[in-house]
Amino acid sequence: MSDEKVKVAIIGFGTVGSGVAKILLDSVDEIYRKTSVRLELAYVVDVDLDSPRPVTLPNGLLHNDLQKVLADKEVSIAVELVGGTGVAADIQKKLLKAGKDVVTANKALLAERGEEIYEVARKQGRCVAFEASCCGGVPVIGAIRTGLVANRISAMYGIVNSTCNYILSEMSGQGKEYSVSLKEAQKAGFAEADPTLDVSGADSAHKLAILAGLAFGGQVQYKDISVEGIDEIQLVDICYGQEMGYAMKLLAIAEQTDKGLSLRVHPSFVNKDELLAQVYGSFTAVSIFGDAVGHTSYYGRGAGMMPTASAVVADIIDVARGNAKRIFEVTPGFGRKALPQQLCPREEMVSRFYLRLSVEDKPGVFFKIAKILGDRKISISACLQHESKSDDCVPVIIMTHKARQGDMNQALKELAQLQVVRDRPVCVHVVSPPKDGLFGDEHE
């Protein structure tokens, strides 16, 4: 390790870019003391030179011309924080072709067009580092690639989107409707003006594509992930779930089944005693299950200026040390080509389910419902019907044992066609992270 300065450029001077600049300006000596890596912020590039930012750059650092960075051979590491899947892709490719290693938090780009980027990196003998792309400052990518590398990973259950977890926490904790909670999240800075990418589950699926690719060692396509967001969640279902001992979380799940790798993002009822049920507000957590290590979990702030900057700067240091490149170039699906994963078809996925049916309050109704479920081999584990004040229509809540998704889809169609069932039946997955089977249960 030499004492030479490592020159760094930041492309994209938004929230996270400001955080990275702040650490590089404030903590360079501290980082040198701990790592013997001497970083120097050489350029910050953004089309917008004028907007005020939460950090003040020394004169001459801010530019609007990427060409300066590309042409400066002394800049060895460039951070792409522009975001999105369009111009960011061109920027990353240009940087790699100019001989820079790239550090990025851009999960959308890596999930949707990663193969294009990695191809360029491979050809150029450069690396892409992306710890900041998943769960902000929580070093979960490092854990998968280094700490857990001796394991065959069997499953990964994650709360990976801060915005959704904040909204669901507000709904659960304060009894607020979805629309109210979303507005509060926007006001508090936890949701964008257009929250679609987050609340639709797409952002969670982006992160899952990256994490599952790393954990299962094969190419995972974003488009192969089945995605359901939180935008149609109703407060009434959260309340019934709580009454039955469950918390509502948006989970990103990747898990090996005997039918292949199951990849999905959906709202989930999780038993309130599970660790994932204890993750509140804008925090995120990922539980990873390995054959040797059993259940491990990683928790922290999944977004925000400084937490994400923490991961970006960790990656800059890891690239400067040479360690990031050594790992990138041998990682299947990233620095090396990988075969596609065998996937579990959506219909074959097995889960427990929560059903809410609005039914007419008259004899024989429960029999009809139970028959449809029974015919599909869907077994009822619990049910709940409160005495109704209305004599017209009452909600019936049913929790099932494990059932095939395909069977449940069929049952839902038939239930919706029953004359005694009003409105569309509501169906939510009920999820139990696996027992790791090592010794002693964690919930005893």
Give the one residue of 54, 322, 340, 434 binding a second copy; rule: CB under 8 A: 322
Q: Where are the beta strands (DSSP E) in 46-95?
A: 62-63, 75-80
Per-residue CA distances from 230 to 49, 129, 187, 240, 289 (Å): 37, 30, 19, 16, 26
What does DSSP assign to residue 146? Answer: I
Positions 349 through 408 that interact with a second copy (CB under 8 A): none
For the residues of 336-379, what is the DSSP string, one character each? B--PBPPB--GGG-EEEEEEEEEEESSTTHHHHHHHHHHHTTPP
Told to check if 246 binds a second copy by CB under 8 A, we report no
To a second copy, the closest distance from the beta carbon of 151 in angstroms equals 6
Positions 183 through 222 that interact with a second copy (CB under 8 A): 188-190, 217
- Rg over CA atoms, the chain: 24
Q: Report which residue type is found at 224.
A: D
Give the one residue of 298, 328, 334, 353 binding a second copy; rule: CB under 8 A: 298
Positions 300 through 319 that interact with a second copy (CB under 8 A): 300-301, 304, 306-307, 309-311, 313-314, 317-318
Give the one residue of 61, 275, 350, 393 binding a second copy; rule: CB under 8 A: 275
Give the one residue of 281, 361, 406, 414 binding a second copy; rule: CB under 8 A: 281
Told to check if 81 binds a second copy by CB under 8 A, we report no
Give the one residue of 4, 36, 234, 377 binding a second copy; rule: CB under 8 A: 36
Spatial distance between the Cα atoms of 101 and 49, rounded to a whole number of angstroms: 25
Closer Cβ to a second copy, 27 or 358, answer by number: 27
Give the one residue of 236, 330, 382, 416 binding a second copy; rule: CB under 8 A: 330
To a second copy, the closest distance from the beta carbon of 303 in angstroms equals 10
Told to check if 118 binds a second copy by CB under 8 A, we report no
Closer Cβ to a second copy, 101 or 407, answer by number: 101
Told to check if 339 binds a second copy by CB under 8 A, we report no
Token digits of residue 120: 């360029």
Site string for a second copy, 138-177 (x = CB under 8 A): xx--xx--xxxxxxx-------------x--x---x----
Closer Cβ to a second copy, 345 or 437, answer by number: 437
Nearest one of 309, 330, 275 to 105, comparing CA atoms: 309
Does residue 97 have an active-site annotation? Answer: no
Tokens 């069929």 found at = 410
Token digits of residue 130: 């992306």
Give the one residue of 278, 342, 381, 409 binding a second copy; rule: CB under 8 A: 278
What does DSSP assign to residue 222? Answer: G
To a second copy, the closest distance from the beta carbon of 238 in angstroms equals 16
Q: How many CB atoms lie within 10 A of CB 410?
A: 16
> How many residues bind to a second copy according to rule CB under 8 A?
77
Binding piece for a second copy, criterion CB under 8 A, among 104-112, 242-250, 297-305, 393-401: 297-305
Spatial distance between the Cα atoms of 433 and 276, rounded to a whole number of angstroms: 9
Torsion from C-alpha of 256, 129, 136, 67, nearest 10 degrees: -140
Closer Cβ to a second copy, 151 or 221, answer by number: 151
Residue 361's Cα: distance from chain center in Å? 41
Catalytic residue among 22, 207, 249, 325, which?
A: 207
Told to check if 239 binds a second copy by CB under 8 A, we report no
Told to check if 416 binds a second copy by CB under 8 A, we report no
Spatial distance between the Cα atoms of 414 and 372, rounded to a whole number of angstroms: 7
Q: Are 156 and 287 in contact (CB under 8 A)?
A: yes
Closer Cβ to a second copy, 37 or 251, answer by number: 37
Helix axes 202-216, 107-124, angle to 10 degrees: 40
Write out the catalytic residue numbers. 207
